[in-house]
Chains A and B, each alone.
Chain A
């Protein structure tokens, strides 16, 4: 299905998933404003939002299977398999978040009708991030996502920790956005365009690989994205914000927000700045190495499971950066594969934390999980599979993902980084395994320790599906790997024929 984005009809088709979700979110917002007095309306808003997500995912699948491709000049929106793959990962993340939230909001007595529409709006922003082929679409997508998530982080207004998390996230997020925007401005100044494919063409056509303005722009873009994906040394906000935000929102931030920001970074580096790879690989190398080391070491020192998961998500940003360092298609494919299962295992771990938490997820330590396997075998099994998968234990999807990241790095000659990845993974066993041990090998603290632990049937069904997916694709990953490889082919050079526009910066 060739799409010429110069035509209104084709442009509408290309943006159908985003448009459907935006319309649904706006309608849901009206419904929420109209019916906001009883908690059953809020539950219904949650279930309704799932329909919007399903419709959007249907549109994505329709476009992907229909073989939508770009015809005509490159525009502001990408039409390629990478976008569809990331869109689906984001929608899965949003759907899991909604499933967790419906029960959680009821239990904690959080009555905010706009919660579910905000999740949908954030998802639209993420999909724009995944599909934007223009620096400005990326910026607008990022802001739509960020502003929605600032509100979500502080949605529990009665809780001072939630408000504090929202403030920290907001101030540092806005700070990072400003860096990103300045990076966009300088890149625009150096190349004269904001379209990603044209930037790549201009860089080689004008021979401005080492132009100081371009270098400064790329550096600022790295700072901005470094904050958003929580890479060390731009991670200071992450533990506090993840700790203070309501737990379903934390899961959403750790899984989907990070996924979307990473997808935009991948597209930016592989499409616009591919020619500069020998320059930026050192930066990515350094960021990845220090992120893995610092994230894993500090995670070891955490007592609270929620903070431990926050640091673990920082460490995972390092693993994902490792997939990026080579700038190769193999790296992009490994990235897509890992991103999907990173989303699943993160949400699974937070779901168990929610079940155990009951108005105090922040205080749950691994000792509190002692003996969980006895009374709640499903929850213990979910947590075990998620922990082993996060660790990269053979037999789980996390192992396959890490394996492909490793081969993509060593295949391109970045063996040093692969060594760092393996060593830090060994360190991470030191905080993942004690949780498994506590659940299966330690006795309950007292007879009633897990009396109030529980999740509704729908969420338990979701956890079963998660566990099955993590184990199934840990053993038979081939089908998904083929899809991931197809997704990475979006960055096959030459993406467009270079257009040499006579232009001299300054």
Chain B
């Protein structure tokens, strides 16, 4: 029931997240796009769990926990960098050159 459309929506959300990460230059917005990707995957898991049992819904909880841990560390890192550079624009954060 609605498995196809749900998977399609989550694929579109995931792609939007990827495009956002690749195109935006602000660290916070890039981080938001990563969160969008994780939530798109959550949607996939929930949609699949209709067919495959409760496992999929349990995974969603794990993913949410991991995303929260990542957010805590990630925002701390962003603040640490902001104190040095007074900007979050990745184009201006270029001490290290690849």
Contacts and interface: CB of A to CB of B under 8 A. Distances in A.
Say what secondary structure dominates the interface of chain A: helix
B40 A182 contact: yes
Interface in B26-77: 27, 30-31, 34, 37-38, 40-41, 44-45, 48, 51-52, 55-56, 59, 62-63, 66, 69-70, 73-74, 76-77
A97 to B, nearest CB: 19
B41 A181 contact: yes
Interface string A167-206: 1101100110111011001101100101000000000000
Contacts of A241: 96
A177 B74 CA distance: 14
B73 A147 contact: yes
A64 interface: no
A236 B90 CA distance: 14
Contact of A160 (B27, B77, B84): B84
Interface stretch (A48-56, A149-157, A366-374, A386-394): A149-157
Interface in A220-275: 236, 239-241, 243-244
B62 A136 contact: yes
B87 to A, nearest CB: 11
Interface string B1-32: 00110010000001001000100000100110
A486 interface: no
B98 A171 contact: no
Contact of B41 (A151, A157, A164, A178): A178
A18 B17 CA distance: 34
B31 A174 contact: yes
A192 B52 contact: yes
Chain B CB within 10 Å, residue with most, of A161, A170, A186 = A170
Contact of B77 (A167, A185, A243): A167
Chain A CB within 10 Å, residue with most, of B40, B45, B52 = B52
Contact of B30 (A150, A171, A177): A171
Contacts of A210: none
A321 interface: no
Contact of A167 (B17, B27, B48, B66): B27
Contacts of A167: 27, 77-78, 81, 93
A171 B81 CA distance: 13
Contacts, number: 114
A144 to B, nearest CB: 9
B44 A186 contact: yes
A166 B48 contact: no
Interface residues of B, number: 41
A185 B7 CA distance: 11
Contact of B34 (A136, A174, A243): A174
Nearest to B33: A175
Interface residues of A, number: 39
Contact of B93 (A140, A157, A164, A186): A164
A171 B70 CA distance: 10
A143 B84 contact: no
A178 B69 contact: no
A478 interface: no
Contacts of A194: 55, 59
B45 to A, nearest CB: 6
Contact of B37 (A157, A170, A182): A182
Contact of A506 (B3, B45, B84): B3
Contacts of B74: 150, 170-171, 174
Contacts of A164: 81, 84-85, 93, 95-96
A165 interface: yes
A175 B62 contact: no
Contacts of A165: 96
B96 A243 contact: yes
A182 B70 contact: no
Chain A CB within 10 Å, residue with most, of B55, B62, B98 = B98
Contact of A185 (B48, B69, B93, B96): B48
A236 B96 CA distance: 12
Given A143-B69, A181-B63, A157 B27 contact: no
Chain B CB within 10 Å, residue with most, of A139, A140, A168 = A168
A151 B38 CA distance: 21
A240 B66 CA distance: 25
A-B pairs with the 8 shortest C-beta distances? A178-B37, A240-B96, A160-B84, A163-B81, A185-B44, A174-B34, A143-B66, A166-B77
28 contacts: A136-B59, A139-B66, A140-B62, A143-B70, A147-B69, A150-B73, A163-B77, A163-B80, A163-B81, A163-B84, A164-B95, A167-B77, A167-B81, A170-B70, A170-B77, A171-B27, A171-B30, A171-B74, A174-B31, A174-B74, A177-B38, A177-B66, A178-B34, A178-B38, A182-B14, A188-B45, A189-B48, A241-B96
Interface of B: 3-4, 7, 14, 17, 21, 27, 30-31, 34, 37-38, 40-41, 44-45, 48, 51-52, 55-56, 59, 62-63, 66, 69-70, 73-74, 76-78, 80-81, 84-85, 93, 95-98
Given A161-B96, A167-B78, A188-B52, 16 more contacts: A143-B70, A154-B77, A160-B85, A167-B27, A167-B77, A171-B30, A171-B34, A174-B34, A174-B74, A175-B21, A181-B41, A182-B14, A182-B41, A186-B44, A189-B52, A243-B96
